[in-house]
Amino acid sequence: MVIPTVGVGRGPRERASAQARPEWTVRAARPVITVHDRRHACPAVARPGDRRTLDKIASEDWPAIHSWACRSEACRYQVWGPNTEAQTQEFVEGAVRAWSDTPQRRFSFVARLAGDVVGMGELHVRSRVQRQGEITYIVHPQVWGQGIGTQIGRQLLGYGFGELGLHRIHATCDPRNVGSSQVLAKLGMTHEGSLRHTQLIRDGWRDSLVFSVLEDEWPPPAQGMPSARNC
């Protein structure tokens, strides 16, 4: 497997796809409640004109989240899942409740594409004193490979540095999870190394690649995105 290198540069293909993909908007101040009848539905293709937002998670998002949390390919490298409905509801309720915690350490968002929930991302504050954070993200398998995972990660980093004033944000992934390590490399995060046997998952002990980015490295020059504060 190719381990992404430090501060990966942006090739012509990457630049072209970045231009073609509209940026997402983070809407953390208030939940945007979208009432629609297709909460299990997921568009197969992200169209350029589709509105993309990252919204504070709400209780009614659980069916959409369950539409991927119940799938084995979505949790292939995770300690959880495939989820029962009750497990997904419990997870979503915990994520919603965390927005009322003082101090708040967990910030959970759903990614919407033209109104449909197609993924989610979380930012965990691991230390307020040391200004350390961690991001995680997941995308419905039906829309993998369309830039959504990278865009969720980018907005989470912008939120962590711009809104929360973090100094370092890290992420981990299974070495076999090529999609995730590609996302982290595309975000300009540095591959720091590997930790051995960090989690016991369905097929045995898994290792974790560790990636990080520091506040003065964000945003990487080529990305030049607005911070969440400016969205």
Would you count residue 186 as binding ligand COA (CB under 6 A)? yes
Among 94, 165, 179, 226, binds ligand COA (CB under 6 A): 179
Would you count residue 139 as binding ligand COA (CB under 6 A)? yes
Would you count residue 165 as binding ligand COA (CB under 6 A)? no
How far lies 84's CA from each of 17, 87, 91, in Å?
A: 36, 5, 11
Among 117, 123, 125, 173, binds ligand COA (CB under 6 A): 173
Minimum CB–partner distance for residue 76 and ligand COA (Å): 7
Amino acid at 110: V
Would you count residue 212 as binding ligand COA (CB under 6 A)? no
Would you count residue 144 as binding ligand COA (CB under 6 A)? yes
Structure tokens at 36: 């629609």
Which helix (H) or strand (E) is 165 found in, with range?
none
Structure tokens at 168: 């370092």
Taking the C-alpha atoms of residue 134 and residue 124, their distance in angstroms, rounded to an integer, is 5
Q: Which residue lies nearer to ligand COA by CB, 108 or 180?
A: 180
Would you count residue 57 as binding ligand COA (CB under 6 A)? no
* Per-residue interface string for the shown chain with ligand COA, residues 14-33, x marking contact by CB under 6 A: x--x----------------
What torsion, rounded to 10 degrees, do the Cα atoms 161, 149, 207, 199 define?
A: 90
Among 145, 165, 193, 226, binds ligand COA (CB under 6 A): 145
The 8-class DSSP code of residue 214 comes to E
Among 67, 146, 155, 212, binds ligand COA (CB under 6 A): 146
Minimum CB–partner distance for residue 119 and ligand COA (Å): 7
- Cross-strand partners of 119: 111, 139
- Cross-strand partners of 25: 53
**Residue span binding ligand COA (CB under 6 A) among the ranges 27-35, 122-130, 137-145, 190-198:** 137-145
SS3 content of the chain, % helix, strand, coil (to 5): 30, 30, 45
Structure tokens at 226: 């607005």
- Pairing type for strands 25-27 and 52-56 reads parallel
Residues 68-87 that bind ligand COA (CB under 6 A): 74, 77
Minimum CB–partner distance for residue 58 and ligand COA (Å): 20
Taking the C-alpha atoms of residue 146 and residue 155, their distance in angstroms, rounded to an integer, is 16
Would you count residue 150 as binding ligand COA (CB under 6 A)? yes
The residues of the shown chain that bind ligand COA, judged by CB under 6 A, are 13-14, 17, 74, 77, 136-139, 144-150, 173, 177-180, 182-183, 186
